[in-house]
Amino acid sequence: MIFEKQKGVPKFECKEYNKKTKDYVVLIPIINEGDRIHKELFRAKKENISDYVDIVICDGGSTDGCIDEKKLKKLNVNTLLIKMDAGRQGAQLRMGMWWALQRGYKGIVTIDGNNKDSIEDVPGFVKKLEEGYDFIQGSRFINGGKAINTPFIRLISVKLIHAPLISLTAHRRFTDTTNAFRGYSARYLQDEGVQPFRDVFMTYELLAYLSVRASQIGYKTCELPVTRAYPSKGKIPTKISFFKGNSELLKILFKNFRGDYKPI
Average pLDDT by consecutive 10-residue portion of the chain (264 residues)?
Answer: 96 98 98 97 98 98 97 98 96 98 98 98 98 98 97 92 96 97 98 98 96 98 98 62 68 96 91
CA distance 144 to 178: 18
CB contact at 8 A, 158 and 178: yes
Beta partners for residue 15, in sequence order: 80
CA distance 52 to 22: 7
Cα 68 to Cα 62, 76, 113, 137, 147: the distances in Å are 10, 13, 15, 31, 31
Pairs from 259-263 (Cβ < 8 Å, separation ≥ 24): 261/200, 261/201, 261/205, 261/208, 261/209, 262/213, 263/192, 263/193, 263/194, 263/195, 263/198
Please report, as a single letter, which amino acid is at residue 9: V
Between strands 77-83 and 54-59, the pairing is parallel
The pLDDT score that the predictor gives to residue 233 is 73
CA distance 64 to 164: 37
How many Cα atoms occupy the beta-carbon half-sphere of 254 within 13 Å? 5
pTM of the model: 0.94
The 3-state DSSP class for residue 229 equals strand
* Number of residues in the chain: 264
Cα 111 to Cα 54, 249, 251: the distances in Å are 13, 19, 23
The superfamily (CATH) of domain 2-258 is: Spore Coat Polysaccharide Biosynthesis Protein SpsA; Chain A (3.90.550.10)
Over the range 136-172, which residues count as b (16 or more CB within 10 Å of their CB) and which as e?
Answer: bbbbbbbeebebeebeeebeebbeebbbebbbebbee
- For the beta carbon of residue 194, count every other beta carbon within 10 angstroms: 21
CB contact at 8 A, 141 and 249: no
